Amino acid sequence: MKTKVNLPIRSLIFPFVLLGLAELGCDGSQAEKTSKKEAAQTPRAGATKPHDSTKAAADDQGTAADPHAHHRHHAGLQIPAEAPLSGASLFHVESTFTTQAGKDLQLKELGGKPSVVAMVYTHCEHACPMIVADMKAIEKGLSDEQRRGVHFVLASIDPERDTVERLSAFAKQASLDASHWTLLRAEAGTVRELAAVLGVKYRPEPPSDFAHSNLLTVLDADGVIVHRQEGLGSDPKDSISALLKQLGAKRERVSPE
Amino acid sequence: MHQGASPSTKRLIPSLRLPCALSVLVVCQLLVALALATTTKRTQPTPGRMVRVAGGTFVPLYGTRDKPESVRPFLLDALPVTNGDYLRFLLKNQRFLRGKLPRVFADEDYLRHFEQPLRLGPNAPVDAPLTHVSWFAARAYCRAEGKRLPSMLEWEFAARAGKDVADATSFPEFTQKILDWYGKPSKLPLPSVTTLEANYWGISGMHGVIWEWVEDFNSVLLTGASRKDASGTDNELFCAAGSLGSIDPADYATFLRYAMRASTSATYAGQTMGFRCAKDAPLPKKQKNKT
């Protein structure tokens, strides 16, 4: 049976291969691999593509050419969910995190305020307390009012041990004001993803430690990276001025009440 | 021979309206061919076919020195994901189209070799390994297949296999072959995955054509950001880097892969980056798993 039908297939497909090459500009042996529905769709989708791609290209250019495009929805008081988001925004990450209060959180919920983000683990004895201290130094450089306009975010690279309870206890122990400090945990794949968008590198160092980048990232109110502070014990002034710039920009955009 | 196609062929000759007739011909032949093809499915190379890699232990280049790491049994795609495979994914997941995928997930080289966002074209042969793909996109593809990217440990473990042995890293000719490839770029467009040599596990093309994404590519700390890291990781790496002249060539080939990962961003979609997917192996209960 198998050997009988094999030959007809080849001869049936062969003309398609030629036509496929001529019409689709792609290798005709695709017919063997794609399902008939998809293969039939391919030329059609390809044909309608100029429309789609110009639209996509226009969208792309829109955000690239107009750096303020992604700010408009704030001024217009639109709900950000429907507004076009900059392609560079971390808010495109749709994975769910859990806060130290046990609440689900998606990154886009940090929108509307600039954020300072770092990845740590609470069992860390050396670098992480210093990262938290560096973030606190930034916090200290802001006025009370400015502080309330900023998210300070610590995301754990150690989801196994950093439970909600542990994060909550850590926040208390380190006197992190819950009104503007958010501690996050997530499943391992989501942690990798967050590290990837931030450019943080980390790996477990058995038995109980992690090696990791010491990196603070400042995001604008739309989740776009605007500043990075590398290394431990760095002068916080650049991060502070990056935040002030964001806070100032936001004030300009929002009309006074 | 041509029973299935003859009606449309008859129509074709008198009409001479080629474009129209040709598309009718295409559709007819495609229907018949696919109907028949499904009956002979098992004789065709199946995309996404996985093979089982029995676990084991080995000492990875940048693991904890002298301590072997153990790898649990896992399943790995026998072939790298091809342009054709990825096109099928794009048809169902159009937010991953070139031009639509946000920059935060892929740089401007993403699917650059496709003629159109949904058309492969001459630079992207349907059976060639997919390249120009970011870590995010590779991951999303595997997830859509009910799979995941292999961990670095898994990938490196499977990549130690030669044609006939699970660990060929002590054979100079094995490592020399890899180094030779690293020394010269692959010819474009890339060859069909069916031409790639299978290793001991039945996995083809782990060396010689593309670099492959792994889930924890960003677990290699090599420079810069962690200079003041209290863990002292960098010393370990710099020691390895500094002693390249005296270490095993096998380690040198591996070192290059680690260095590449360390310097790569997750949005990188260069012309040498591809991937294949993995899966946890079913628990061994003396049943032979059929994938």
Mean predicted lDDT score pLDDT of chain A: 76
pLDDT in tens, B218-276: 998 864 333 334 344 443 343 333 334 345 666 788 888 988 998 999 999 999 999 99
* A212 min Cα distance to partner chain B (Å): 7
Residue numbers in B near A8 (CB within 8 A): 1-4, 36
Assess whether pLDDT exceeds 90 at residue B114.
yes
Output the pLDDT for position B27: 57
Assess whether pLDDT exceeds 70 at residue A103.
yes
Q: How large is the average pLDDT for residues B86-95?
A: 98
Query: pLDDT tier at A4 (50, 70, 90 boundaries)?
Result: very low
User: Rounded to whole angstroms, how far apart are CA atoms B193 and A188?
Assistant: 32
User: Cβ B226–A211 below 8 Å, yes or no?
Assistant: yes
The beta-carbon neighbor of B88 closest among A26, A34, A60 is A34
Q: H-helix or E-strand containing A225? A: strand A225-230
Output the pLDDT for position B68: 86
Count of CB contacts below 8 A, A vs B? 205
Picking from A205, A167, A201, A161, the residue whose alpha carbon sits closest to that of residue A184 is A167
Residues 80-119 of B with CB under 8 A from A: 82, 84-85, 87-88, 91, 97, 99-100, 102-105, 115-119
Q: Is B231 on the interface with A (CB under 8 A)?
A: yes
Q: How large is the average pLDDT for residues B106-114?
A: 98
More confident residue, A77 or B283: B283
> Residue B226: CA atoms inside 13 Å, Cβ hemisphere, count?
29
pLDDT in tens, B128-159: 999 999 999 999 999 999 999 999 999 999 99
Residues 152-211 of B with CB under 8 A from A: none
- For an interface test with B, give the residue of A7, A203, A209, A232 to mutate (most B CBs within 10 A): A203
Question: What's the predicted TM-score (pTM) here?
Answer: 0.73
The beta-carbon neighbor of B227 closest among A31, A130, A231 is A231
Picking from B109, B46, B56, B53, the residue whose alpha carbon sits closest to that of residue B82 is B46
pLDDT in tens, A19-35: 343 333 333 333 333 34
């770092």: which residue's tokens?
Answer: A118
What Å distances lie between residue B120 and B20, B114, B275, CA to CA?
23, 5, 18
The beta-carbon neighbor of A26 closest among B67, B105, B119 is B119
Q: How large is the average pLDDT for residues B43-71?
A: 79
- Phi, then psi, of B77 in degrees rounded to 5: -55, 135
More confident residue, A29 or A151: A151
Output the pLDDT for position B170: 87
Output the pLDDT for position A14: 41
Mean predicted lDDT score pLDDT of chain B: 80
More confident residue, B166 or B34: B166
Assess whether pLDDT exceeds 90 at residue A152.
yes
What token pair was written down for B244? 């390249």
Maximum CA extent, chain A: 82
Output the pLDDT for position A68: 44
> Residue A58: CA atoms inside 13 Å, Cβ hemisphere, count?
6
Q: Is B225 on the interface with A (CB under 8 A)?
A: yes
Output the pLDDT for position A202: 94
Output the pLDDT for position A133: 95
Query: pLDDT tier at A249 (50, 70, 90 boundaries)?
Result: confident
